[in-house]
Amino acid sequence: MSQIDNLPPLREVIAEHDLRAKKELGQNFLLDLNLTSRIARSAGNLTDVTVIEVGPGPGGLTRALLAGGAKRVIAIERDERTLPALAQISEAYPGRLDVISADALETDYRKLADGRTKIVANLPYNIATPLLTGWLSQDPWPAWFESLTLMFQREVAERIVATPQDKAYGRLGVLSGWRTEARIAMNLDRNAFTPPPKVTSSVVHMVPKPVEVDVPVRALEEITRHAFGQRRKMIRQSLKGLGVPLDALFGAVGLKGEERAETLPVATYIAMAREVARLRR
């Protein structure tokens, strides 16, 4: 399935529009339409779904999403060099592609949601983590999106799906484990990209799950920042900077204070966030 529509191959598109990937924009273009189609399929059934895509570049994944049946794709792209290539895709799929020339970190994604909405993207590596944490930290919850299907550097993907005792377990694992069911859907060799990044990439599929509504997200972020910022120390040492009575905090959540951050389950961090907020009232 090297050809999914009547548009030119991506290498020809890049040559025609002189779309050399820019390192400062975190760009690595995925040119194999077989692989972009696999990513689109890993997002599930796209029928009657609006898909938000960040950083479409020359449009390989965009084309796969549209060919895969997405009702509409809203693409956020700050690199204006790509706009003519994306305009060709829009002409091939009339009324189904909207391109917004904007900074992905400054976009209000909730306002773009249109009925059933999913986010699917080969994220620029330099903004991938702040985008994800922004989406997962939103309130109210459950989220306005049905799922996230996102490409990251392999090491970031492992942090997202990590659980207690895993070497990669940290702040991302707590946040994603609290609010989503996350799994690595596929890995991609570096040579699949132009230019090849220095690392393997992974696609992570995340589905929001219902969670307690009274958890203070900012307190959770503060606790995990302190805890995993000094992950080798006992939790009593690493959480000193919280400025709350630690004996009261640990007593309320059933800790001795001798534990280390990577051993604590997500539920314990949630309980600590609630208790810290209560102690500060």
The mean predicted confidence, pLDDT, of the chain is 93
pLDDT digits (tens, 9 = 90+) for 5-16: 889 988 899 889
Instruction: Say if strands 29-30 and 193-194 run parallel, antiparallel, or are unpaired.
Output: antiparallel
Residue pair 191/30 in contact by the 8 Å Cβ criterion: no
Q: How many CB atoms lie within 10 A of CB 38?
A: 16
Establish how many alpha carbons lie within 13 A of residue 2's alpha carbon, considering only the half-sphere containing its beta carbon.
Answer: 4
Predicted local confidence at residue 2, as pLDDT: 58
pLDDT digits (tens, 9 = 90+) for 45-61: 999 999 999 999 999 99
Helix (H) or strand (E) holding 61: helix 60-67
Collect all residues with Cβ–Cβ distance below 8 Å to 15 and sequence separation of at least 6. Answer: none
SS3 at position 74: strand
Predicted local confidence at residue 37, as pLDDT: 96
Overall average pLDDT of the 163-188 stretch: 96
DSSP letter, residue 90: H
Overall average pLDDT of the 190-218 stretch: 89
Establish how many alpha carbons lie within 13 A of residue 195's alpha carbon, considering only the half-sphere containing its beta carbon.
Answer: 8
Distances in Å between the Cα of 81 and the Cα atoms of 22, 210, 255 are 11, 41, 54
pLDDT digits (tens, 9 = 90+) for 75-123: 999 989 999 999 999 999 999 999 999 999 999 999 999 999 999 999 9
Task: Please give the Cα distance from 25 to 79 (Å, whole number).
Answer: 8
- The predicted model scores a pTM of 0.93
Name residue, tokens 């919280």: 242
Is residue 180 scored above 90 in pLDDT? Answer: yes
pLDDT digits (tens, 9 = 90+) for 195-208: 788 889 999 999 99
**Is the pLDDT higher at 233 or at 22?**
233
Predicted local confidence at residue 54, as pLDDT: 97
Please report which confidence band the pLDDT of residue 1 belongs to, taking 50, 70 and 90 as the band edges: very low
Collect all residues with Cβ–Cβ distance below 8 Å to 232 and sequence separation of at least 6. Answer: 260
